[in-house]
Chain A
Amino acid sequence: MGAQGDGEKLASSSKLKSAALLDMMKEHIKGPEGKGLLEKIGLVYQMNIGEKKLGFQEESFVIDLKEGNVYKGAYKGGKPDATFSFADQDFVAVATGKLNPQMAFIRGKMRIKGSMKAAQKFTPDIFPKPSKL
Chain B
Amino acid sequence: MSLRDLVMGGAGCSAPGVGPSTANPMAGLADSLIGGAAKQQERLRELPGLAGPEVGPSSQDFGRSRLQPPLPGFELDHGIVGPSGPRGQEFLQGFNSHNQGFSDAWDEALRPGFPHGPPMGPEAAHFEDFERIYSQQGPMLAGPMPEGAPQQVLAGFLHSFLDSSRTAAPFPAVKLPELGLSQMDKERIRNRSSIMARHIFADKGPMFVENQVNALLQSLEIDRNPELEHRMHGPMGGAFREFEDYWAEGAPPVNGPGHPDQWAAEFQNKLRLQNGNHWGEEYARENSSGGTWGDEFAQEQGDQWAEEMAAQERQRLGLLPGQQAATLDQTRQLAETLSQNKDPKFQNSKFLQFVSKMSRGELIMEDNAVREAAAGDGWANEFQVQQTRGAFGGPQQANDWASEFHREQQQDPQGWADEYAQEQAQGPKDWADEFGDQVAKGALDIDESGWVDSYNQFLDESRGGEASTSNMDYKFAEQNPYMGHPAPLREGQDLFRRGLLSEAVLALEAEVLKNPNSCEGWRLLGNCHAENDDDRQAIAAMLKAREADPTNLEVLLSLGVSHTNELEQQEALGYLRSWLQNHPRYGKLVPQDGSAEGLGHEEVVNMFRAAVREAPEDADLHTVLGVLFNLSREYDLAIEAFRQALQLKPKDYSLWNKLGATQANSARSADAVQAYQEALDLKPNYVRAWSNMGIGYANQGRYEESIRYYVQALQMNPMSDNAWNYLRISLSCAGRMDMVELVDRKDLDVLAKEYPL
- A interface residues, Cβ below 8 angstroms from B: 1-2, 9, 11-12, 15, 17, 20-21, 23-24, 27-28, 30-34, 36, 40-41, 53-55, 85, 89, 92, 96-98, 100-103, 105-109, 111-113, 116-117, 119-125, 128-133
Contacts and interface: CB of A to CB of B under 8 A. Distances in A.
**Nearest 3 pairs of A and B residues by beta carbon:** A31-B667, A97-B725, A131-B661
Given A9-B632, A111-B81, A102 B699 contact: no
A5 to B, nearest CB: 16
Contacts of A54: 73, 76
B722 interface: yes
A121 B103 contact: yes
Given A1-B636, A12-B632, A132-B692, A125 B105 contact: yes
B110 A103 contact: yes
Nearest to A54: B73
Interface residues of B, number: 81
A101 B106 contact: yes
B667 A33 contact: yes
Nearest to A123: B106
A36 B546 CA distance: 45
Interface in B87-120: 87-88, 90-92, 94-95, 100-103, 105-106, 109-111
A125 B657 contact: no
Nearest to A85: B80
Given A31-B668, A40-B101, A106 B466 contact: no
B527 to A, nearest CB: 13
Contact of B633 (A9, A100, A133): A9
16 contacts: A11-B569, A12-B632, A54-B73, A101-B106, A106-B175, A111-B80, A111-B81, A112-B91, A113-B80, A120-B100, A128-B665, A128-B667, A128-B699, A129-B698, A131-B662, A133-B657
A28 B672 CA distance: 14
**Which one of A2, A89, A107, A122 has the highest number of Cβ atoms from chain B below 10 Å of its Cβ?**
A107
Nearest to B732: A125
B266 to A, nearest CB: 42
Given A96-B722, A116-B91, A17 B567 contact: yes
A97 B726 CA distance: 7
Given A30-B667, A111-B81, A133-B657, 19 more contacts: A11-B569, A17-B566, A27-B666, A53-B73, A55-B73, A97-B726, A98-B721, A102-B106, A102-B110, A107-B458, A108-B71, A109-B72, A111-B82, A116-B87, A129-B699, A129-B722, A132-B688, A132-B691, A133-B564
A11 B81 contact: no
B58 interface: no
B520 interface: no
B79 interface: yes
A22 B584 CA distance: 37
B634 interface: yes
B729 interface: yes
A34 B458 CA distance: 34
A1 B112 CA distance: 39
A85 to B, nearest CB: 7
Interface string B479-503: 0000000000000000000000000
A129 B691 CA distance: 11
A117 B667 contact: no
Contacts of B71: 106-108
Interface in B699-725: 699-701, 721-722, 725
B218 interface: no
B1 to A, nearest CB: 33
B454 interface: yes
Contacts of B661: 131-133
A123 B81 contact: no
Interface string B542-576: 00000000000000000001001111111000000
B378 interface: no
Contacts of A11: 569, 632-633
Contacts of A27: 633, 635, 665-667
A33 B80 contact: no
Nearest to A84: B80
A131 B633 contact: no
Nearest to A100: B110
Contacts of A131: 660-662, 664-665, 672, 692, 695-696
Contacts of B278: none
B476 interface: no
Nearest to A107: B71
